[in-house]
Amino acid sequence: MAQRLPKRTYAVEINQAGIFYGYDQKTYEIVAKQCNRCNEWRFLNQFNNAGKGFAGKHSACKKCHRKRDRWGRLLWA
């Protein structure tokens, strides 16, 4: 699958969970990552906060987070 990368000022790495993420090469701050549901490349502000999650964010983006199955469970949970 082709990865859509952000601006070249970010370095892209892959974490142990197989999630691509981008970090600022000067500050090493994580700025973007790949949603593990839709596989879209998104900036961190498009993820809900999660204390345990990678970069302190959920593994699924806000858009996926809103999607639930017919039992009301989060599809990615």
Binding site for Zn ion (CB under 5 A): 35, 37-38, 61, 64
Between 4 and 9, whose beta carbon lies closer to Zn ion? Answer: 4
DSSP state string for 25-41 = TTT--EEEEE-TTT--E
Indicate the residue among 12 and 38 with the shorter CB distance to Zn ion: 38
Q: Which residue, judged by CB position, is nearest to Zn ion in the bound state?
A: 35
Question: In the complex with Zn ion, which residue's Cβ is closer, 37 or 44?
Answer: 37
Q: Nearest approach, Cβ of 27 to Zn ion (angstroms)? A: 25
Segment holding 63, helix H or strand E: helix 62-65
Angstrom distance (rounded) from CA 3 to CA 76:
21
